[in-house]
A and B are shown apart, each in its own frame.
Chain A
């Protein structure tokens, strides 16, 4: 694996383009995007629908491959990895928080949070200790045995955050994490993620329309028509 990127950049995108084919029409979702995300950042990608936010997040999350250009995570060039190696990278180094229906419905809050650790093959006792700690950090102590349908939307997102941070990833990618939840819950979730960023130095990258997220972000990347139209640190 190529390890040439800066040690300070967790994520590095170099002239990345992504073209989708819709029938005979080619849609350029990303156009030569170059971007670096440093450790400990609390960044947000904003922009209108179709601007390329989710595509960018998918590429950073090793869920998709670019049509051209390169994406590296902690110095690892994703284009050199097989499907299985990409799975391992996501499992060990990337945390995901999605918009909704984030959890596995048949597993309890504890088991959902434990899921990635189990995939990593971590022994049960160690898993238990780490998951209980993280559930405590996200304010879900005492709710470990509840299944997703026994939790509110905000609590479910907290479980998703716990699942994302428990493997101690290099970066947590959050795709519209505050959509579909009330503003009070959204604020408390953002408080939580800000706290985790501050205290545990967890790197967060959001894709969002939500002004509350943008206001709290330390870096705001604005996308328009597949390009980075603004990159500022308010």
Chain B
């Protein structure tokens, strides 16, 4: 059966190759869309995670819906240790955040502070450290240093070493102020972020707003694979079941971005589905022609004892082969493009301009490919599934043929 169906495929080489090429084209298109999406979404999610919240955020109940300095995690070190005990987690950072007024001798502006412990932060988990254009990260969690964005530095006319006063409210509702010295300036490229975010030493902030030494606004958890955010969040929930905290995955803390990704992904699937339908129609046409051309042969096969079911599977098998040949051709044609796009990509910065962002998340101006194993499996299965399905009707027609009628065909 395998040999017969394979040879049948090559009876009309040109037609088979044309149909296989359409499958290959569909695969190329599908991989281009999926790989661009997989890369862009992962990039956005990871970039967003490094802007403060992590892939998973552990925070006090109700903080996400209505942030307040009074809503705080009381046992932050324990939470961090528990998070780090999960193998999928590569970092967990304790953070204290809130709103404040920042003033220099020249001006004052509103913004958001993020209190961090420098021993828990790296460029990988913190976009602000990664984007430092001047100075360096402070060394201690209790110092008087501060890192500000380039936008704020410009507004407040601040340079490295200059003083900055920040004023906020503590847990008692009292206005409290602190003086800091600019030790670093970052530039993420997102103007909204660069003009509002200020990085402070966490212990200094705790003292200022009257937090206990182990209290924090949140613990930002970073995982190796963003797709496992729900699983890790669920594991953390189990581990922290005795603590009154809220554990949220990135799509819950960043609903705008999650919605945008979800919509984009659906549109992507829709266009791939339409391409799949067009390819299937082409295969159906090819297989139907092939069946109609072989009426007498099928009549003979039925006459000498092939069952209608077996004839049906024979046609279905031919359709499967056609899909497989198309798939192999598609992989061959796509591989060089994939290699280039995965390693080099296309720099779109001249079209996008500086600091192109969606929902405050900086987009990588270099369009690249990345394919997850699941995406590869689903694309391959979809292509093979659709091409095999396209053989159903021709197979059904072949199986329903009357041997007597078909033997009359010369």
Contacts and interface: CB of A to CB of B under 8 A. Distances in A.
> Is B one of A's binding partners?
yes
Interface of A: 58, 61, 63-64, 83-84, 87-88, 90-92, 94-96, 98, 100-102, 104-107, 111, 115-116, 119-120, 163-164
Contact of B404 (A64, A87, A115): A64
Given A64-B404, A106-B11, A107-B7, A98 B300 contact: yes
A107 B297 contact: no
B170 to A, nearest CB: 84
Given A106-B11, A107-B4, A87 B305 contact: yes
A163 B301 CA distance: 12
A163 B304 contact: yes
Interface of B: 3-4, 7-8, 11, 296-297, 300-310, 403-404, 407, 410
Given A91-B304, A92-B305, A105-B297, A100 B403 contact: no
A92 B304 CA distance: 9
B305 A119 contact: yes
A102 B299 CA distance: 10
A102 B301 CA distance: 10
Q: Is the interface of B mostly helix, strand, loop or mixed?
A: helix
A64 B303 CA distance: 10
Nearest to B407: A98
Contacts of B410: 100-101
Contacts of A164: 304
Given A63-B404, A98-B407, A100-B410, A106 B305 contact: no
Nearest to B403: A63
Contacts of A115: 304
A87 B302 contact: yes
Contacts of B4: 104, 106-107, 111
Contacts of B302: 63, 87
Question: By CB atoms of chain B within 10 A, which of A58, A83, A91, A106 has the most?
Answer: A106
Given A101-B410, A104-B300, A58 B404 contact: yes
Given A87-B307, A98-B303, A119-B306, 5 more contacts: A63-B302, A63-B303, A84-B308, A102-B300, A116-B304
A116 B3 CA distance: 15
B399 to A, nearest CB: 10
B303 A96 contact: yes
15 contacts: A61-B303, A64-B404, A87-B308, A90-B303, A90-B305, A96-B300, A101-B297, A104-B4, A104-B300, A105-B297, A111-B3, A116-B304, A119-B304, A119-B305, A164-B304
A117 B369 CA distance: 51
A88 B305 contact: yes
Contacts of A106: 4, 7-8, 11
B308 A96 contact: no
A106 B8 CA distance: 7
Nearest to B305: A91
Given A98-B407, A104-B297, A83 B7 contact: no
A90 B307 CA distance: 10
Contacts of B11: 105-106
Contact of B308 (A63, A83, A163): A83
A135 B236 CA distance: 73
Nearest to B309: A84
Contacts of B3: 111
B287 to A, nearest CB: 16
A134 to B, nearest CB: 14
A194 to B, nearest CB: 22
Contacts of B296: 101
A106 B309 CA distance: 21
A119 B309 CA distance: 12
Nearest to B408: A54
A20 to B, nearest CB: 10
A64 B4 CA distance: 27
Contact of B307 (A84, A94, A98, A100): A84
A53 to B, nearest CB: 14
A119 B8 contact: no
A45 B4 CA distance: 35
A107 B1 CA distance: 11
A7 B336 CA distance: 71
A108 to B, nearest CB: 10
Nearest to B6: A106
A100 to B, nearest CB: 7
A4 B326 CA distance: 55
A123 B371 CA distance: 45
A14 B4 CA distance: 40
A46 B245 CA distance: 95
A27 to B, nearest CB: 14
A186 B171 CA distance: 109
Contacts of B305: 87-88, 90-92, 94, 116, 119-120
A13 B8 CA distance: 39
Nearest to A163: B304
B406 to A, nearest CB: 10
Question: By CB atoms of chain B within 10 A, which of A95, A96, A104, A120 has the most?
Answer: A104
Contacts of B306: 87, 91, 119
Contact of B304 (A64, A90, A101): A90
Which A-B residue pairs are the 8 nearest by beta carbons?
A: A91-B305, A106-B7, A87-B307, A90-B305, A63-B403, A64-B404, A63-B404, A96-B303
